[in-house]
Amino acid sequence: MPHFNAAAALHFCVLLSAFPAQYFISQWYRTDSAQRIRITERLIIASWSSFTKSYLSLDAWADRLKLWLSNTRTCLNVRLLILHFRNWYYGEKKTKIGDNEGETHSYFAESTHVRSPKPEYVRFSVGQVIVHKRLGYSGVIVGWDVTAKAPEEWLQHRYPPAKQDLKDTPHYRILINEVNGFGKSTAYIPEEEITLVMGLQVHHPDMKTY
């Protein structure tokens, strides 16, 4: 298949223009000088008339402006439509993710949702080893909530009216060190009941999972 480049296209256009050019030349030389002058005058007048109608007419420029504005509005409307669709799609997607998160992983700091950065008022972090101030057992933090998140029945049992304020403080999920023989493997406790400890190794069957 022959290669068709810009030079070949120009050559082809020149060949096509040869036919009307030959016709014009033949008509030109068949006439006398007076007729050639009249033909030239008609060509000049026709060209000027076409130029003035296209570029010196207010109506022509008004039509161009209307067409440009129409195209601009069309492009703008399409862009707005795409933007609204993207906002709707990703907003709907985030809402669904949030709903699923709330249904399956919101209780007892078991959320798998990445929350970063951690709020400054949440003092402790995942991986830190702690000791319960009152009960004395040790453990490691594996999750946190900015406030207590648990079934309402559990909260009512855990926090009677005298301790209602504790519900609104940060809470931590703890894997309890099995060497303590505490009888429980996990705990969900407020921040004020724990203190950090250094140099203590925690043993728990779920440590590798976390």
- 3-state class (DSSP) for residue 89: helix
| Nearest one of 122, 120, 115, 184 to 147, comparing CA atoms | 122
Q: What are 102's two structure tokens?
A: 């709330």
Identify the burial level of 189 via C-beta atoms within 10 angstroms of its C-beta, where 0-12 means exposed, 13-18 middle and 19 or more buried: buried
Range in 30-39, 177-186, 190-199 the model is least confident about: 30-39
Q: What pLDDT is stored for residue 167 in this prediction?
A: 92
Alpha-helix residue ranges (DSSP H) falling in the chain = 6-30, 33-55, 58-104, 152-158
Q: What is the pLDDT of residues 83-132, one digit of tens each?
A: 656 556 555 444 444 444 444 457 999 887 788 888 999 999 999 999 99
Say which residue the tokens 């950065």 belong to. Answer: 117
Q: What pLDDT is stored for residue 104 in this prediction?
A: 45
